[in-house]
Amino acid sequence: MAEPLTCSAGKSGPTLSVDAARLRAVAVAAPVAQTEVLPLDMACGRVLAAPVAAASALPPFDNSAMDGYALRLSDLAGAGPWELPVSQRIAAGDRSARSLAPGTAARIFTGAPIPEGADAVVMQENVTRRGDRIVLSAPSRPGQNIRRRGEDLALGAQALAAGVALTPPRLALLAGSGVPQVAVRRRVRVAILSTGNELAEPGHPLAPSQIYNSNRVMLRATLARLPWAETTDLGILPDDPQAIRAAIRAAAQGNDVVISSGGVSAGEADHILDALRAEAAELDVLKVAIRPGKPLTVGRLGGSLYFGLPGNPYAAAITFAQIARPALRKVAGLTEAPDAWLPAVAGFTYHRTTGRREYVPVTWARRDALGRPVLERLGQGASASLFPIACAMGIAVIPPDLSVIHPGQPLQVEVLGE
Ligand code: AMP
Ligand code: MG
């Protein structure tokens, strides 16, 4: 359940830690209720709406884990070596295996059904073949090289819990246990918009005082990587309260989440807050102790979740990743949180102002004796800078209270993907 929010828009509230702000954003988010049934082929990355039970035992029958010979251990009495005649041949997919005649072995291949009566498979490498007989000198133990029916997953056992994302291995598990389709939550509908009279799209000439829109493609591309989201791009809106108001009202009606960039600080030309207030949104202006990042607006607008990200691109990227994305994951129905940071050490010196958790673009070319990346800092921390983040291999997390970082200082780094 989303917590009711008091309208704190524009009021000065306490500064929240990044973790507290994230919790607040997640608390406002509610999972989409609708589900759809998809074949496995269409379901990669989607979020399971209900637990799934195995429709077939995995594996469905006792089978051989090796190419070799199936035998009865009771036939290996006394001291070896032992010699057994080969009474049948069983390949994967064979349906005609007979029960194993006492005192004989069956030639068997990986994945083939274990004949009734056999209780071990000896690897072919451990056997000498003499015509239609085998000789073995090492004893076997019961069940050796036999994959038992249901040992991976019993018939009817839970294969996956609700709220997990369907990764390729999880899809393989479902297929292996006979599940052809899954109920997943429908995709989260996200509308994005950029605000600013100064913005132009690349490909168009820049008028004096204009800049190119970086946030639009950044947010679009970020969302395009989330298989459980679909994006509507509302383009650039001018700094005009009426235009913004009409656009966000329409966006909130057809979407689960609306994300804007720019226009959320207290500057005169920052109309997002006015427009949201006029639309009677329940808002929280979060003063987050984060760098880069400005006040971040989180709230509910009609039935949808609203994120007003800062306009500066690096700040927009960081606040999206740290605060909006966890809330979006909850809307998607995900119950697992990724935990993809690595322990690292600083390879740089940095004197800084304390009080805010800082996200620093970093790269590394070597690791220390413990295997930790030795980080080099990129850029000077400017929230408008794009070049450092574009070159970064990861984002180092600087704790709020550290006033100086020396080489060797342990730090966490969040590794950026491709
Ligand atoms: P604002 O939050 O609207 O005050 O914008 C803060 C800074 O970010 C200003 O310098 C804007 O020009 C810049 N900015 C806003 N939106 C974008 C955008 N979509 N792409 C690049 N820069 C932007
Ligand atoms: Mg602006």
Q: Tokens at residue 402, please?
A: 């550290």
Whether pLDDT at 388 is above 70: yes
Q: Determine whether the shortest distance from the Cβ of 260 to ligand 1 is under 6 A.
A: no
Give the C-alpha separation, 129 to 84, whole Å.
Answer: 10
Tens-place pLDDT, residues 104-115: 999 999 999 999
Residue 163, token pair as written in the block:
């709220």
Q: Which of 312, 318, 319, 389 to mutate to test the pocket of ligand 1 (most atoms within 8 A of CB)?
A: 312
At 194-208, the pLDDT tens digits run 999 999 999 999 999
Mind listing the pLDDT tens digit for each residue in 254-271? 999 999 999 887 666 678
The mean pLDDT value for 361-381 works out to 97
pLDDT band at 272 (very low <50, low <70, confident <90, very high): confident
Q: Which 8-state DSSP code applies to residue 417?
A: -
Query: What distance in Å separates the CA atoms of residue 123 and residue 125, rounded to the nearest whole number?
Result: 5
- 81 Cβ neighbours under 8 A, 6+ residues apart: 135, 136, 137
The pTM score is 0.92
Chain centroid to CA 58: how far?
26
Q: Which two tokens stand for residue 110?
A: 């990986």
The mean pLDDT of 43-63, rounded to a whole number, is 98
Q: Report whether 55 contacts 177 (CB < 8 A).
A: yes
pLDDT band, very low/low/confident/very high, at 15 (cuts 50, 70, 90)? confident
Query: Going by DSSP bridges, is the β-strand pair 68-71/120-123 parallel, antiparallel, or unpaired?
Result: antiparallel
The answer for residues whose C-beta is within 8 angstroms of residue 212's C-beta and 6 or more apart is 199, 200, 201, 202, 206
Q: How confident is the model at residue 33 (pLDDT cuts 50, 70, 90)?
A: very high
Q: Name the least confident of 4-8, 141-145, 215-219.
A: 4-8
> How far apart are the C-alpha atoms of 401 and 406, rounded to whole Å?
14
* Cα dist from 114 to 66, 144, 236, 260, whole Å: 11, 12, 66, 62
Whether residue 383 has its Cβ less than 6 Å from ligand 1: no
Percent of the chain with pLDDT over 90: 83
Q: Mean of the pLDDT values across residues 153-161?
A: 98
Q: Is 119 in the pocket of ligand 1 (CB under 6 A)?
A: no
**In this structure, which residue's CA is closest to atom 22 in ligand 1?**
312
pLDDT of residue 6: 46
Which one-letter amino acid corresponds to residue 175?
Answer: A
Alpha-carbon distances, residue 179 vs 51, 105, 155, 165, 184 (angstroms)? 12, 36, 11, 16, 14
Q: How confident is the model at residue 253 (pLDDT cuts 50, 70, 90)?
A: very high
Closest CA to 160 of 149, 176, 145, 147: 176
Which amino acid type is present at position 241?
A: P
Confirm or reject: Cβ of 295 under 6 Å from ligand 1.
Answer: no
Q: Name the DSSP letter for residue 313.
A: H
pLDDT(123) > 70: yes
Question: Residue 1 — very low, low, confident or very high, per pLDDT cuts 50/70/90?
Answer: very low
Distance of alpha carbon 155 from alpha carbon 157, whole angstroms: 6
266 pocket-lining for ligand 1 (C-beta < 6 Å): no
- Among the bound ligands, name the one nearest to the CA of residue 193: 1
Q: How confident is the model at residue 283 (pLDDT cuts 50, 70, 90)?
A: confident
% of residues, the chain, pLDDT over 70: 96
Q: Is the pLDDT of residue 354 over 70?
A: yes
